[in-house]
Amino acid sequence: MATLHRGFSPSSFLLLLLLLLVSSSSASPVHEILTKYGFPPGLLPDAAKHYVLSPHGDFVVELGNPCYVKFTDLVYYEKTIKGKLEFGQISDLSGIQVKKLFAWLPITGIVAPPNKGNVEFQVGFLSEVFPVKMFEQIPSCRAKAGSSCRGAESLFISEVFLPFP
């Protein structure tokens, strides 16, 4: 029987490789709950691993650290994201901000109408609609976003343009 380096047989190596592929391609429970409620999994970054969901739909998602994701706009995810989850709708959302021109605006709600193929992001009474295919893949987080960072890196910009943390 042929063996590979360090005593692995070809069949054990193949099994190990298969397990690695399956584990790296599957979504985390946080992303699976999004799809269960009618949302694409890519609304939250790969850093979102832990969540609590109450029977009434109130949720808390914890990230390892705050981070940025570039979609069509730059999006900032705080370490803690909270809101209320119903099928096709997230309301009372806090912890996600989008950069529009020179200001960071809080995303307050997200709506994914069934069979419409789009996702609507709400910022107060304003909203913007994007195709659902933009959020099918789970995005990777970046710790920094250059000169457009939130937090300590851009304290001056935040103080001037944002009245909220």
Please write the tens of the pLDDT for every residue from 77-129. 999 999 999 999 999 999 999 999 889 999 999 999 998 999 999 999 999 99
Task: Count Cβ atoms within 10 A of the Cβ of residue 28 and give its class: 0-12 exposed, 13-18 middle, 19 or more buried.
Answer: middle
Contacts of 109 (CB under 8 A, 6+ apart): 83, 89, 90, 91, 92, 93, 121, 122
The pLDDT assigned to 107 comes to: 98
In this predicted structure, the answer to whether residue 160 has a pLDDT above a threshold of 80 is no
How long is the chain? 165
Encoding tokens for residue 133? 């295919």
Q: Give percent of the chain with pLDDT exceeding 70.
A: 71
Task: Look at residues 70, 126, 117 and name the one whose alpha carbon lies nearest to residue 98.
Answer: 70
**Among 28, 70, 69, 78, CA closest to 51:** 28
Q: How many Å apart are CA 149 and CA 165, to the nearest integer?
A: 13
- Show the domains of the chain with their CATH numbers: 29-161 (2.30.240)
Cα angle, residue 100 at apex, residues 111 and 48 outer, rounded to 5°: 55
CA dihedral for 73, 130, 109, 65, sign (positive or negative): negative
Report residue 27 as tokens. 């979504």
The CA distance from 151 to 159, in Å, is 10
Query: pLDDT tens, 5-55?
Result: 555 565 544 444 444 433 334 457 899 999 999 999 999 999 998 999 999
Instruction: Provide the pLDDT for residue 150.
Output: 56
Measured CA to CA in angstroms, residue 128 lies from 26, 112, 137, 144 at distances of 29, 12, 20, 25
